[in-house]
Structure 1
Amino acid sequence: MIPRPLTWTPGTGELVLDSGTTLAAPDELSDVLAWLQGALRPATGLPLRQAGHGTITLTLADELGAEAFELEVRAESATVRGGGPAGVFYGCQALVQLLPPQVYRRAPVPGVRWALPAVRVYDAPRFGWRGVMLDVARHFMPKHDVLRFIDLMAMHRLNTLHWHLTDDQGWRLEILRYPRLTEVGAWRHESQVGAVQEAPSDGRPHGGFYTQDDVREIVAYAAQRFITVVPEIESPGHVQAALAAYPQLGVSGRPLEVFTRWGINPNVLNVEESTVDFFTGVLDEVMQLFPSRWIGVGGDECPKDQWRADPRTRQRMAELGVSDEAGLQAWFMRRLDDHLTAAGRRLFGWDEILEGELAPGATIASWRGMTGAVAAARRGHDVVACPDDQVYLDYRQSESPDEPIPVAIPLSVEDVYAFDPVPPQLTPGEARHILGGQANIWTEHADSPRTVDYLAFPRLCAIAEALWSPAERDFSDFERRLPAHLHRLDALGVEYRHADGPRPWQRRPGVPGRPVTREQRAEHIARLVANIRTS
């Protein structure tokens, strides 16, 4: 079973599912019961009707935590008890894993004996934020593939999808009051192929966006699987797609095209009041679509060169009483934060925003190592740990030259399994600010959902266990359980990376990457975090 449960007590015998097997649940668990029926029926071909007293019973238990569950299978029946609907749902995910892996197929599989081994399981998560950041701005992911990814998250008991919706290379969210954001900003005329500065372009248009109806569907689908979707709208950097649609938002005001290259872009927002109003208007529509407590606003990799060189920006700084460009970004972030706070939401931003003064409610995504996590927790901010050297799933998976477009340092399954979101130097009081962690999947070099599969799995299986299970873990035990889990992924059609390396169709021969050593990476990050105050 992945993630590994806290306790596992084998029993005697097994429960065989057949045409007479029934399910039972109270009304408040009707959605979970419907999900379980939908998970079991396609492959088994069994009716699995609802009854007053079911062979498999779902129930609530006040003494358990909201996401905790107990699963008991006996020869004659099975019971899933959870502290809340989410706990029951996770218990149902565990129950499905007890069956042969063919249960994950979507049509009847003849000749399989659908038997649950007798067992008693108790489980509960270590962290409340168990997430994945999925970038759909660099390469658009069609709606049905997003829904599939959500199902894969739910299978691994991940509960937060940080959805990176806008960047220099594309604006993916329909905003009704500003239609050009998708009419213009959702499309670029070509894409860079490779990770080096001199890499060629493919000459092929790329684009796409989600309508507001699409978003409502995705958010509701995720909620049925107890996954919160946290949107991210980048600012004040990584905004060239918005500038292409509305040039007046930029420092120069000159027309631009949607960016076709990767890397940090010098074009940033101006800091006029009208630009603040524009983005708070965007956030108003975002908040209507996403009920998440957190709303992401970016704040990362914002070059200050245009602000430094622009006379109007210097004048604006004087008007605002801001002494330097870092303070100017902090002012912009604070305006968005005030707007979100007034609406009862919380700002969620990358650790660069720690370089200025933040409102007390801001939550930090610590990506440049764990320095941001330490600094934020010590300053009283909640933290989601996502250090690039541990959980960036776009990074190469080995030293092999066959890795497709190899980027940065190698991160193996064993490397990511060792992830712990809590920095050891924090006191117990400071550590309470660590909400949990997430893996990040950037898609500059992942131009299809099957490439996302290759980058994510099975590393995401390991990260899911790291976020769910206790801090004391045994990789050899995980490695022993993983092959059985890979059969489940096979049944689902997940094109994961095999332990012996990429298959021929997963390689990208001739496309240059940007591999670095851990020493080079450490030196680079040390320079980037030099401005973060740690106390």
Structure 2
Amino acid sequence: MTSTDLIPAPSGIECRADSPGRFALDGDTRLDARPGTEGVARWLRSALGAATGLPLADGEGPRSILLRVSADVERELGPEGYRLSTDGSVEDVAVVIEGGSTAGVFWGAQTLRQLLGPDAHRRAPIGPAGQDRDVPMVTIEDSPRFRWRGLMLDVARHFLPKDDVLRYLDLLAAHKLNVFHFHLTDDQGWRIEIKRFPRLTEAGAWRSRTKWGHGASELWEEKPHGGHYTQDDIREIVAYAAERHISVVPEIDIPGHSQAAIAAYPELGNTDVIDTTSLSTWDTWGVSPNVLAPTDNTLRFYEGVFEEVLDLFPAATSPFVHIGGDECLKDQWKQSPAAQARIKELGLADEDELQSWFIRHFDGWLTARGRRLIGWDEILEGGLAPGAAVSSWRGYAGGIAAARAGHDVVMCPEQQVYFDHRQAPGDDEPMPIGYVRTLEDVYRFEPVPPELAGTPAAAHVLGTQANVWTEVMQDRSRVDYQVFPRLAAFAEVAWSALPAPAERDFADFDRRMAAHYRRLDALGVDYRPPGGPLPWQQRPGVLGRPIEGAPPIV
């Protein structure tokens, strides 16, 4: 490994091979945490201390690692920017990490960890505890391109235990990603404890069986699947994320993708159209026709849900609340006398405007409580709620329209950054879904489309996120396989100031990945190897949902 094998690539790096002397972390190295950086010092001592066996005691001195927030760095590089020097030329200390904020210091600490080599990502030393650790002589100045650098993880289709979620927060932090979009509810499961509505988890968190595969698969896993996070679990996840400067965006799906909630509380459904008491948590994939009824009772129910959600996700760390709003089939509303009466009562034109009314209600409700609503780009249908932000998933079009209308946008187009989609053609990919999107394809993804580039509307692109839907990811290992190594390429797209997609140096990124695979190995990530899936990563005979003729990368 060389000092330039960093991922994501920093804005500027100067290798100081001519610096005098030899620099190594050793048993005498101390952590000098200036005001505001104490949390970073705790993390650094925990992570590097575990991997190296070094005590990294508090204190100043010529062999210390100095952490501090700097107004100069904030002015020059922004609040998440940092300056890292390991050549001993600054204040006669071993390492100086200055950040524009505490978050900037933390990202600098992540870079220091990479500079120490792959074994710095282990949980215990693999050599003699406390041995010296060489650090390259470098000066780095770095800052992110986007303020929203995220990953959406769906735990509704397949539940991931709390410890697996905490692990993913560590993996996000290691790649300088700062938003965790937590998809907590869907037709196939409700994953968050709501104390005033206990049946949401007693009934809605479990399904009797699960489709094995996708689309035309005739296979089933004939056993119950489910689970949920208690409110204390959620508090722990949010606090763990905050320590790593990650904002958690909870998603509670309305008015579609709600069959698990309706199965738990049948009065939430369109009872004048179907017998909602016969519904159970959905056991297959796709889009359920069972959507929420547009009644006052439904509004009050979800206001109660969101009251508890807001208490669990404080505004300081979770300013955005995601309400879904996607794939709401409107057939039941068209058939429902109660829904049609609601449309007439409100003076609406059609069912699209009824959905817009639903979204606008919660936009106002959340705004009054100091939060911002964000939803999938279907919330544009029937009129976008004032102040709402958009997750643009059906390509760029929704994001372009929203940004031009003055709404903030997170770009996450399915065609480029859905990591449930297969990584290569061929029958050996496990349960292949969707388009083929290789590591290089992800590296050439551009969050700001040409239609917005250079225009005032481009400022409304908050950033980007990759989305991970888990219909065919039954456990942590399968999630790892789909997410990695592509998350490394995505992280560089979200953080680094890269040239236009066609001009990006994928060969250099691929070279740096040789070192990064060793970091992933040290972190215990079951990534897809460059040569293809290992035998135990394949799922022979289990059908996926291939989409042929994928649109070109733009």
Q: Which of the five TM-score ranges fits, normalised by the shorter chain?
A: over 0.9
Answer whether contact 2:217 2:544 (CA < 8 A) is retained.
no
State the match for 2:67 in structure 1: 58
Answer whether contact 1:326 1:356 (CA < 8 A) is retained.
yes
Asked if 1:67 corresponds to 2:80, the answer is yes
State the match for 1:86 in structure 2: 103
Shift of 1:55: 1.6
Answer whether contact 1:60 1:84 (CA < 8 A) is retained.
yes
% of aligned pairs identical? 53
* Alpha-carbon separation, structure 2, partners of 1:245 and 1:143: 23
Output the amino acid matched with 2:475: S
Q: What are the residue-to-residue correspondences of 1:72-221 with 2, within 5 Å?
A: 72-74=85-87, 77-110=94-127, 113-221=132-240
* Alpha-carbon separation, structure 2, partners of 1:517 and 1:371: 21
Runs of 4+ with deviation above 6 angstroms: none
Answer whether contact 1:160 1:229 (CA < 8 A) is retained.
yes
Q: What are the residue-to-residue correspondences of 1:26-425 with 2, within 5 Å?
A: 26-53=34-61, 55-64=64-73, 65-74=78-87, 77-110=94-127, 113-252=132-271, 254-255=276-277, 256-291=279-314, 292-425=318-451
Output the amino acid matched with 2:7: I
Shift of 1:113: 4.8
Give the count of matched residue pairs.
521
* Alpha-carbon separation, structure 2, partners of 1:125 and 1:218: 24
Asked if 1:456 corresponds to 2:483, the answer is yes
C-alpha spacing 1:72/1:212, structure 2 compared with 1 (3 Å): same
Output the amino acid matched with 2:84: L
Q: Per the alignment, in what secondary structure is the counterpart of residue 229 of structure 1?
A: strand
C-alpha spacing 1:172/1:328, structure 2 compared with 1 (3 Å): same
* Alpha-carbon separation, structure 1, partners of 2:81 and 2:36: 17
Asked if 1:483 corresponds to 2:514, the answer is yes
State the match for 1:437 in structure 2: 464
Output the amino acid matched with 1:491: A
Structure 1: state its 5+ residue gaps. 523-535
Shift of 1:471: 3.2
Q: Is 387-396 or 246-255 further displaced after alignment?
A: 246-255
Q: Per the alignment, in what secondary structure is the counterpart of residue 135 of structure 2?
A: strand
State the match for 2:15 in structure 1: 10
Shift of 1:25: 1.1
Q: Is 361-370 or 27-36 further displaced after alignment?
A: 27-36
C-alpha spacing 1:113/1:503, structure 2 compared with 1 (3 Å): farther
Q: Per the alignment, in what secondary structure is the counterpart of residue 23 of structure 2?
A: strand
Structure 2: state its 5+ residue gaps. 1-5
Q: Is 117-126 or 354-363 further displaced after alignment?
A: 354-363
State the match for 2:505 in structure 1: 474
Q: Report the RMSD for the aligned CA atoms in angstroms.
A: 1.3
Shift of 1:197: 4.1
Answer whether contact 1:70 1:122 (CA < 8 A) is retained.
yes
* Alpha-carbon separation, structure 2, partners of 1:162 and 1:279: 20
Answer whether contact 2:263 2:276 (CA < 8 A) is retained.
no
**TM-score normalised by the chain length of structure 1:** 0.96
* Alpha-carbon separation, structure 1, partners of 2:337 and 2:224: 36
Shift of 1:320: 1.4
Answer whether contact 1:373 1:423 (CA < 8 A) is retained.
no
Q: Per the alignment, in what secondary structure is the counterpart of residue 508 of structure 1?
A: coil
C-alpha spacing 1:437/1:329, structure 2 compared with 1 (3 Å): same
* Alpha-carbon separation, structure 2, partners of 1:348 and 1:389: 21
* Alpha-carbon separation, structure 1, partners of 2:95 and 2:369: 44
Q: Per the alignment, in what secondary structure is the counterpart of residue 425 of structure 2?
A: coil
* Alpha-carbon separation, structure 1, partners of 2:10 and 2:321: 32
C-alpha spacing 1:226/1:396, structure 2 compared with 1 (3 Å): same
* Alpha-carbon separation, structure 2, partners of 1:497 and 1:133: 19
Answer whether contact 2:390 2:402 (CA < 8 A) is retained.
yes
Answer whether contact 2:26 2:132 (CA < 8 A) is retained.
no
* Alpha-carbon separation, structure 1, partners of 2:531 and 2:125: 32
Shift of 1:23: 1.1
Answer whether contact 1:330 1:357 (CA < 8 A) is retained.
yes
State the match for 1:507 in structure 2: 538
* Alpha-carbon separation, structure 2, partners of 1:30 and 1:175: 34
Output the amino acid matched with 1:157: K
**Cα deviations by residue, 1:109-159 (Å, 9 ceiling, x for unpaired):** 215651101100010000000000000000001000100000000000000
Q: Is 509-518 or 137-146 further displaced after alignment?
A: 509-518
State the match for 1:527 in structure 2: none
Output the amino acid matched with 1:474: D
Output the amino acid matched with 2:51: A
Answer whether contact 2:187 2:257 (CA < 8 A) is retained.
yes
Answer whether contact 1:360 1:380 (CA < 8 A) is retained.
no
Q: Is 48-57 or 274-283 further displaced after alignment?
A: 48-57
Q: Per the alignment, in what secondary structure is the counterpart of residue 237 of structure 2?
A: helix
* Alpha-carbon separation, structure 1, partners of 2:158 and 2:547: 24
Q: Per the alignment, in what secondary structure is the counterpart of residue 518 of structure 1?
A: coil
State the match for 2:3 in structure 1: none
Output the amino acid matched with 2:335: A
C-alpha spacing 1:161/1:14, structure 2 compared with 1 (3 Å): farther
Answer whether contact 2:359 2:385 (CA < 8 A) is retained.
no
* Alpha-carbon separation, structure 2, partners of 1:433 and 1:284: 28
Shift of 1:474: 1.9
Answer whether contact 1:14 1:117 (CA < 8 A) is retained.
no
**Cα deviations by residue, 1:35-68 (Å, 9 ceiling, x for unpaired):** 1111111121111111133521111110221100
**Cα deviations by residue, 1:354-405 (Å, 9 ceiling, x for unpaired):** 1121222100000001011111101111000000111000000000210000
Q: Per the alignment, in what secondary structure is the counterpart of residue 233 of structure 1?
A: strand
Q: Per the alignment, in what secondary structure is the counterpart of residue 427 of structure 2?
A: coil
Answer whether contact 2:34 2:66 (CA < 8 A) is retained.
no
Q: Per the alignment, in what secondary structure is the counterpart of residue 185 of structure 1?
A: coil
